[in-house]
Structure 1
């Protein structure tokens, strides 16, 4: 049975582990990042906001009740299925599920909201392309940073306890920050040779690039930046 290391933060890590078990793999959970809520002044939301955009389920999970009370009546545009589900659960009354890609979501919203302002529920750590595309198209973007993403540091003892003495076959990488943390884990002297034959599956080319000093390590990139495409790489293994 192939051993697959899941590096995403909770609660997603446990959810992915259950999916892997159902697929016939042996999951090991090692969250390399964690999310922390940030305060957002609900009173600072502009009256001119015409819609809300969300590219991460964490952004809405960490939104305060005060902020949601201000935003819930606005149309919400979510990047994909999982984010749309989180938005509905948080209290948005009207949610549109997007194409699964942040830049494609920006392109679709640019047509509908040119000359208007949207509120972007987001994390402090994020790629700028979504906002840049909208602003280039004449859409005003008010960013509300509801959470931060922090790297998780493990002691040598904790790593050995979680990984055991048998190497993993595949590592799943969901973010650039997690990939950078994975690079540091792989370079620990106590794990010398542990990842020598491991395959690394990355959600996107940006994530793969964060594993930049792992020359010689096989890295495969998902066809689309979502978990379905990432797990499809596993299904394609011989």
Structure 2
């Protein structure tokens, strides 16, 4: 059975593991990051006309009072999974986006010139979404609801989790996790676990940290969502 390394944080890691088992793969969980709530402001300024969310973690960690204050505004989610999290959190009108933050900005920017939008987000994020909206004349109030931090594993911890057996594939969802994995796979005590691993990436940006060390063993999903990422596992190897 093909062993697949899952590097995303919980609770997503366990959800992905269940999907892999259903597809006939053996998941190996090694979350390289974890998320935690930040004290988020509840005061909303600028009379916003909409809310944007580019990560399910942003609503998962948002204070109840903040969600309540925004729940009746149109909510633009980056993709299907984030949209589901927004609906579960209490947003009344949620629109599924194209799966990519910059593409979402391009989709909604036309109606936001001179208007305000609340952006629920993490402390660490790619600036392209806000930059594109600002360039279109939108007033973006970014409210950081969570932080993402790396998990530091010792060599023995990694070997124990992988049972000292190589993994055939690794799933990467974020730049931070990709950079963390580079540090692991270049350690002398761990190199043998990743010598033939194929690295499956959610996007080209996620792949950048691994480019120099993984080379031709990198594959990039056709769309920045988990369905497209898992579809890479069915390709001949």
Q: Residues of 2 paired with 1:73 and 1:142: CA distance?
A: 17
Q: CA deviation at 1:237?
A: 2.9
TM-score, normalised with respect to structure 2: 0.97
Residue 112 of structure 1, CA deviation:
1.8
Partner of 1:18: 18
Q: Secondary structure at the match of 1:4?
A: strand
Contact 1:198 1:217 in 2 (8 A): no
Check the 8 A contact 1:183/1:213 in 2, yes or no: no
In the aligned structure 2, how far is the partner of 1:210 from the partner of 1:71? 36
Please state if 1:68 is matched with 2:62: no
Decide whether the 8 Å contact of 1:223 with 1:229 is kept in 2. yes
Unaligned runs of 5+ in 1: none
Q: Per-residue CA shift, 1:25-57, capped at 9, x if unaligned?
A: 1110100000011111102x1141111000100
- SS of 1:40's equivalent in the other structure is coil
Per the alignment, residue 196 of structure 1 pairs with 195
Q: 1 CA distance for matches of 2:225 and 2:38?
A: 25
| Equivalent position SS for 1:142 | strand
Q: CA deviation at 1:80?
A: 1.0
Equivalent residue for 2:45?
Answer: 46
Q: For 1:82 and 1:204, how far apart are their aligned partners in 2?
A: 16
Q: Rate the CA distance shift 1:192–1:101 in 2: closer, same or farther, 3 A.
A: closer
Give the distance between the partners of 1:196 and 1:217, measured in 2 at CA: 12
TM-superposed CA distance for 1:189, in Å, is: 2.0
Shift of 1:215: 4.7
CA shift for structure 1 position 217: 5.4
- TM (norm. structure 1) is 0.96
Q: 2:4 aligns to what?
A: 4
The 8 Å contact of residues 46 and 116 in structure 2, kept in 1 or not, is answered as: no
How many residues align? The count is 237
Distance 1:216 1:100, change over 3 A: closer
Structure 2 unmatched runs, 5+? none
Tell me the residue number matched to 1:150.
149
